[in-house]
C-alpha cells in the first residue's frame, strides 16, 4: 500500500520540487517518502545516523592513528586538521552509502 503511494509520488516530500530521474526513498520508522537529492542530504534521521557512525568510527580511527601521540600528551598542530578529517570520512561514507542505497530510478 505504501509503495504504491510512493511510486505515484512526483514531487519531493520536503520542498515539493518536481522529482527528476533520480529520487531518494528515505525512511524514518514505518514512514517512507521520496525526496530530491538536496533534501536527501538534509534528511534529519539520516544525518543523525551518519553523525553517530562518524562519532563511533572516527573515535576508533583516531585512537588507531593518533592514539600514541594523545596518550603521550603530545598534540602537534597537524592534529587540528587530521582529527576532524578522520571524523569526516565515516560521515561522508555513511551519508553517501545511505543515499545510494535509497536511490530509486523512475520506472516509466
Strand 31-35 to 103-105 pairing: unpaired
d(CA 57, CA 93): 11
Site for Zn ion contains 41 (CB under 5 A):
no
Q: Please work out the total of residues on this chain that contact Zn ion, with binding judged by CB under 5 A.
A: 5
Q: First vs last Cα of the chain: how many Å apart?
A: 19
Which of 2, 5, 7, 15 touches Zn ion (CB under 5 A)? Answer: 15
- Which segment (25-33, 36-44, 81-89, 91-99) binds Zn ion by CB under 5 A? 36-44
Nearest to Zn ion of 36, 54 (CB atom): 36
Which of 9, 14, 53, 82 touches Zn ion (CB under 5 A)? Answer: 14
∠ CA 22-52-24, rounded to 5°: 10
90 and 55 Cβ atoms separated by less than 8 Å: no
Site for Zn ion contains 39 (CB under 5 A):
yes
Q: What residues line the site for Zn ion (CB under 5 A)?
A: 12, 14-15, 36, 39
Amino acid at each position: 500500500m505504501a509503495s504504491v503511494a510512493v511510486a505515484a509520488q512526483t514531487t519531493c516530500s520536503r520542498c515539493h520540487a518536481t522529482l527528476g530521474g533520480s529520487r531518494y526513498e528515505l525512511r524514518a520508522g514505518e514512514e517512507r517518502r521520496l525526496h530530491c537529492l538536496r533534501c536527501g542530504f538534509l534528511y534529519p534521521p539520516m544525518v543523525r545516523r551518519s553523525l553517530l557512525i562518524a562519532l563511533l568510527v572516527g573515535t576508533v580511527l583516531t585512537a588507531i592513528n593518533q592514539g600514541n601521540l594523545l596518550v603521550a600528551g603530545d598534540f602537534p598542530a597537524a592534529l587540528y586538521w587530521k582529527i576532524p578529517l578522520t571524523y569526516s570520512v565515516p560521515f561522508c561514507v555513511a551519508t553517501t552509502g545511505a543515499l545510494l542505497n535509497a536511490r530509486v530510478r523512475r520506472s516509466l
